[in-house]
Structure 1
Amino acid sequence: MTTSRRSFLTKTATLAVGAGAATLATPAVTRAQDVIKWRMQTYAGAALGEEVVKPAIDAFNRMAAGQMEIELFYADQLVPTGELFQAMQRGTIDCVQSDDDSMASPTEVTVFGGYFPMALRYSLDVPALFNKYGLKAIWEEEYAKVGVKHISAGAWDPCHFATKDPINSLADLKGKRIFTFPTAGRFLTQFGVVPVTLPWEDIEVAVQTGELDGIAWSGITEVYTVGWSNVTNYFLTNNISGAWIGHFFANMDKWNALPPHLQEMLATCFEQSHYYRQHWYWAGEADLRLNGGKLQLTTIPDEEWATLEDAAVTFWDEIAAESEVKAKVVAIFKEYNEVQKKAGRPYRYG
C-alpha cells in the first residue's frame, strides 16, 4: 500500500505526543529522599552507654533502613550534661537520654528525676507510676510547655554509696565528699554529706586523687561496669532510692517533623531499651554483690536507717509546698507507696 505524505505526518505527530506524555508520567530517574539525621547525647559515659542506650539506637538505625539515622554521643561529648536541656530546646541536639535533674531541666518535675529520696523500692515502680498512676501525662504536659517532647520514662538501677572508707552508720557519712545527683545531694546534706558536681568522666580520677570520698550515683552494676570498683573499697547495701527515673526526650519541632511510622519506631526502640535495663540491672545488682570480687559490703542497721527514711517523708512535704505540680506528684508517690505497703509481699515488706 502507498502511504500518503499527509497520513505519514499525522501518524508521526501522534506517536511523538504519546511518547512525550509517557516520558512526563514516568521519569527515567527518581531522586532518592534525603535521609533524616539526628544527633543524640546521653548522660552516660561510653562504657555505660554501651549497655543503656547504644543497642536501642543501633536497632533503630537498622530498622529505619536508610530513612533516618541517629548519631549517638556520650556524656559531655557535645555539651556538658548540665546543658543538655538547653541544647535540645535550641535544636543543637535533637534527642537526649537523661534524668531531669542532671540536665537542669527548667520544669516543675525536675526535682523528681534521678533519685527522689526513698520514693521507689523496685525498678518496676517507675513504669507503674508513669503508666498507671498518671505521671506520664504530667511529664508530657510540663515538657510541652518548654518545647520538648517527653517520649518515655524508664527505670535504671538503685542508688547506693560506693566509698573508699566503710559506712556502717549515718555518722560515717559526715564530711564525706560524694558525687551524686542534685536533689539527692540536697537531701543528704542534713546527714553531713558534702555533694560534689564534676563531669561524669572525671569521677574515677577524682576518687583516686582524694577530691572525692565516694559516689552515690548508681547501683553496684554500674560501679563495676564503669570502673569505679577499681578506686573504691566498700559498697553500702542500704539505698536512698530503689530506682533511678530517666527519660528519652526530643526537640518538639524535630519530633513533629518525623513521619508517624518513624515516631512509633523510635518510641518502640526506647521502650525496648527500658525493658533491657530492667533485667540487666536487676540481675547485676544481686550477682555482683556475691561475685564481684572487689567491693566489701557494709550495712547500716534498719533501726538507724529508719531515721533517714523518716527524713525523706519530711523532705517530700517540703518539695510539695513549692508548687501545685510538685504537690500533685508527691501525692501520687504517697498514694502509690501506701497501696504497695498495704498490699504486702512481694510489694512492700520489712
Structure 2
Amino acid sequence: MKTTRRFALGAAGAGLLAAPALVRADAPIRWRMATSWPKNLPGPGVSAARLAGRVARMSGGRLQIDLFAAGEIVPAFAVLDAVSNGTVEMGHTASFFWEGKAPAASLFTTAPFGMAAVEHQAWLAERGGQALWDRLYEPFGVRGLLAGNTGPSMGGWFRKELGSAADLKGLRIRVQGLGGDVYAELGAVPQSIPPGDVYPALERGVIDAVELLSPANDLPLGFHRVAPVYYMPGFNKPNGAAEALVATKAWEKLAPELQAIVEAACAAEHAAGLADAERSNAEAIVKLVSMGARPTPFPADVLAAARKAADAVLDRVAAKTPLAGEIVASYRTASSEGRPWARIQGYMAQALRG
C-alpha cells in the first residue's frame, strides 16, 4: 500500500516537473527582423511592419517577429550580413543592395529596362527564377522571398532639366543597383546613400539628383523642395520588389506549417504592396504636382544611351561568375518571352483608359 502511494506521488511529481517543459515548448518563437528602411517609410517600411503582423496573426501568435528600422540594430546596407551571421533571424530589404557581394543579386529586385512587377513574379514562380535565387544566397546561409513591391519607380529628382545626354556628365546622383552602373556609363557619378540620409545630402548639395522609388515613397521625404524636376520613366527600376531574408538555420528549426505561413505571408505582402502602391502613387503624384513638382520625360537621347548602356552592364554582370551568367540569361529569356503580351496589355490599358 505504501509502495503504491509512493509510486503515485512520484509519478505526480514527475508530471509537475515535466509541466514547465511543455509550457516552454508552447511558448511563442520570437524572431528579430532588421530592415533597410526608416520606420514606417511609405512602401517598404510599411510592408515590413505588415509582414511581421501578418505572420503573427496567421500563426496564431506562435511566431512573433520584432521589427527594427535601419540603424536600430544594423545599418541599412548591413541587413544581409546580419541575417547571414545570425545577429537576426530575418531581414526586410532589397536585393540590389548586395550586388557587390553576389553578382546578379539586383535582378531579384529589378534591372534597368527590365521586367515589370507581374512579369518578374512570373519569372520567379514559373520560369525557374526562385531556384536561381536560392542558389545565389545559399553560401550566405539565407533564403530570399518576395515580400512587398513599390511598383515602377520614377526616373528621379533633378535640380535642373537635362538638355541632352551630355548633361549627365559629372552629375552626382543617388542611385542603387545596376542603374548606378548605367549612369556611370553615361558619365554621371553614382552615389550609394541609405534612404534615410538622402534628403540631407540633396539639401546640402552633396548630390545633384536622387532616384529613390515612386511618388508615394518620395513624397514624405520632400525631394521636390530642392530638386523639382521629376523625370520619367524610371528606366533604372521598372519594378520595386522587396525581399524578406530568412536565416537558413532559423528556417530549418520551424515546423513545416510555420514555414508555410512565412511563405504565404510574404506572398500576401507582395500583393498588398502592389495594391497599396497603385492607390498611393495615384494620390501622391497629384499632391506633388500641386506642391511644385514637374513630371518631365527624359530627353530621347538619354533613354537611347541608357538602354545601350544597360545591355553592356548586364553583359558584364553575366561574365562575373557562372551562376551570374545563368541568372542573367534566365532573366533575359523571361523578359523576351513575356514582352509580346506585356506590349499588348500596355496597348489595351491605354486604349481603354484613353
Alignment partner, residue 49 of structure 2: 54
What are the within-5 Å matches in structure 2 for residues 156-171 of structure 1?
A: 156-159=150-153, 160-167=155-162, 169-171=164-166
1:80–1:23 Cα change, 3 Å: same
Q: For residue 198 of structure 2, what is the aligned residue in structure 1?
A: 203
State the alpha-carbon separation in 2 of the partners of residues 237 and 168 from structure 1.
14
Is contact 1:162-1:223 (8 Å) kept? no
Question: Structure 1 residue 109 and structure 2 residue 98: aligned?
Answer: no
Provide the residue aligned with 1:16 in structure 2. 5
Q: CA offsets, 1:151-199, max 9 Å, x none?
A: 3465433232112223454333332211111422112112222111233
Measured in 1, the distance between the counterparts of 2:250 and 2:145 equals 13
Q: 2:347 & 2:243 partners in 1: Cα distance?
A: 25
1:285, 1:170 → 2: CA distance? 28
TM score, norm. by length of structure 2? 0.85
How much has 1:259 moved relative to structure 2? 1.9
Match of 2:180 in 1: 185
Residues 179 and 198 in structure 1, CA contact (< 8 A), matched pair in contact too: yes
Name the counterpart of 1:305: 303
Letter in 1 for 2:335: N
SS of residue in 2 equivalent to 1:44: coil
Change (3 A) 1:168 1:30: farther
**Given the alignment, which residue of 303, 324, 327 partners 1:326?**
324
Q: Distance in 2 between matches of 1:259 and 1:280?
A: 31
Deviations 1:249-298 (A, max 9, x none): 11111111122222222222111111111112223334433343231111
> Are residues 50 and 106 of structure 1, via their aligned partners in 2, closer, same or farther at CA, if it must alter by over 3 Å?
closer
Specify whether residues 304 and 110 from structure 1 end up closer, same or farther in structure 2 by C-alpha distance, changes over 3 A only: closer
- Percent identity, please: 20
Per the alignment, residue 264 of structure 2 pairs with 268
Preserved contact between residue 314 and residue 328 of structure 2 (Cα < 8 Å): yes
Task: Go from structure 1 to structure 2 and tell me whether the alpha carbon gap of 1:150 and 1:340 turns closer, same or farther (over 3 Å shift).
Answer: closer
* Secondary structure at 1:47 match in 2: coil
Residues 232, 61 of structure 1: CA spacing in aligned structure 2 closer, same or farther, 3 A cutoff? farther
1:40 aligns with 2:37: no
| CA separation of 1:157 and 1:170: change in aligned 2, threshold 3 A | farther
More displaced stretch, 154-163 vs 269-278: 154-163
- In structure 1, give the amino acid aligned to 2:39: A
Q: Could you say if the C-alpha distance between residues 228 and 273 of structure 1 is closer, same or farther in structure 2, counting changes exceeding 3 Å?
A: farther
**TM-aligned CA deviation for residue 54 of structure 1:** 0.5
Structure 1 runs (4+) deviating above 6 angstroms are: none
Alignment of 1:283-294 (within 5 A): 283-292=279-288, 293-294=290-291
Cα 1:116–1:339 change in 2 (3 A) is same
CA distance in structure 2 between the aligned counterparts of 1:28 and 1:341, rounded to whole angstroms: 65
Q: Indicate the structure (1 or 2) with the bigger Cα radius of gyration.
A: 1
Asked if 1:130 corresponds to 2:124, the answer is: yes
Q: What's the CA shift for 1:346?
A: 0.7
Structure 1 unaligned blocks of 5 or more: 1-11
Please tell me whether the aligned partners of residues 340 and 348 of structure 1 are also in contact (alpha carbons under 8 angstroms): no
> Which structure carries more helix by proportion?
2
* Stretch deviating more after TM superposition (251-260 or 111-120): 111-120
Q: 1:206 and 1:182 mapped to 2: Cα distance? A: 19
Tell me the residue number matched to 2:340: 342
Q: 1:252 aligns with which of 241, 248, 251?
A: 248
Alpha-carbon offset, residue 25 of structure 1: 7.4
Aligned counterpart in structure 1 of residue 275 of structure 2, from 273, 279, 284: 279
Compared CA separation, residues 304 and 141, structure 1 to 2 (3 A): closer
- 2:162/2:299 contact within 8 Å kept: no
Instruction: Count how many residue pairs are aligned between Structure 1 and Structure 2.
Output: 338
TM-score (norm 1): 0.85
Counterpart CA distance in 2 for 1:348 and 1:334 is: 22
